Amino acid sequence: MTDWTTTRRSALTAMAATIAFPAAAAGGGKRRVRLIAGTYAREGGKGVYPISFDPDRDTWQVGAPISVIDDASFGVGGGPGGAYYFVREKAAGKIAAYAPDWSHRGNAPTAGADPCYVAIDRASACLAVANYSSGSVAFHRLDPRTGVPGEPVVFRHTGHGPNTARQEASHAHWVGFSPDRRWLHSVDLGTDTIFAYRFGSRARSLAEPVAAWRAPPGAGPRHLVHHPRRPLAYVVCELSNTVIMLDARAGGSFATRHTVSTLPSGYEGRVAGRAYRDRPGRAAALRLEPRP
């Protein structure tokens, strides 16, 4: 496994966000896994915690926190010079870059509130951030040598949904570059919309967003993953507890193909499970695992 993966909430006490960076496989076909767990200070977290899994002993171990990285709700690796990036989920959002030894390289404002997701196009050294509360996307060019993010270009979504408690305004919850590197997509929970931005990898630029897909009203789309080989995508909807399979079109748009519930048939109670869920009864994230 060489790609970085992330989840936004942790199942560990006092850890509000877990950022997973799988390590290289160990000998004998067994894999040693290293995780980096970001935490919220208001919930007792002391920074970023290294976590390791020993497959021979079937045990996990939590290391001492890296206290200089606080309120990290999401992260991604693989930037220039091996840089890591973490968003600071505060009213005045920030994206910070760190070297592999965790020394601080630099940071930049995300020009929005409560950034919650980061995506990187490594070939062009560009990075995008979803600002949840302000309903905006910040686009950063990275220094090709140090990986330090530059000042953002900010794009704001507009609109709302029928759920007045959660969809009173735009809430950008996810961003990601398309497999062909022609588009940046943003999933907006507040407007029931996936927005598409034309991405110029050579110019390192984004065009203004257009609506690429509309979810059923009140569904609250939150997270998207692309199929590794086929022109398909899957979006999880937090408010309707559904996963919707989409046809990914060449022009950056999507078309609905199939919908399934994330809840058992006939289930009417609260969901107690935490895996891939933000709170009981609310679907939060998706991950595709290719067959061996």
Q: How confident is the model at residue 74 (pLDDT cuts 50, 70, 90)?
A: very high
Give the model's pLDDT for residue 276: 39
Q: How confident is the model at residue 29 (pLDDT cuts 50, 70, 90)?
A: low
Identify the CA nearest to 84 among candidates 137, 48, 40, 44: 48
Give the model's pLDDT for residue 26: 41
**In the chain, what percentage of residues exceed pLDDT 90?**
68
Give the model's pLDDT for residue 290: 47
Would you give the DSSP letter of residue 67? T
Average pLDDT, the chain: 85
Return left, alpha or beta for 256; rule: phi > 0 is left, psi -120 to 50 is alpha, else beta.
beta
Indicate if the alpha-carbon torsion angle 192, 264, 259, 173 is positive or negative: positive
Q: What is the pLDDT of residues 100-110, one digit of tens each?
A: 999 999 999 99
pLDDT at 6 > cutoff 50:
no
Alpha-carbon span 100 to 241, nearest angstrom: 38
The arithmetic mean of pLDDT across residues 149-154, rounded, is 98
Q: What is the pTM of this model?
A: 0.84
Give the model's pLDDT for residue 283: 52
Give the model's pLDDT for residue 272: 32
- Mean pLDDT comparison of 6-15, 43-52, 107-116, highest-scoring range: 107-116
Give the model's pLDDT for residue 291: 46
Alpha-carbon span 154 to 107, nearest angstrom: 16
Alpha-carbon span 42 to 45, nearest angstrom: 7
Enumerate the β-bridge partners of residue 98.
Answer: 84, 104
CA geometry: angle 24, 83, 22, nearest 5 deg: 20
Give the model's pLDDT for residue 284: 54
Q: What is the pLDDT of residues 164-206, one digit of tens each?
A: 999 999 999 999 999 999 999 999 999 999 999 999 999 999 9
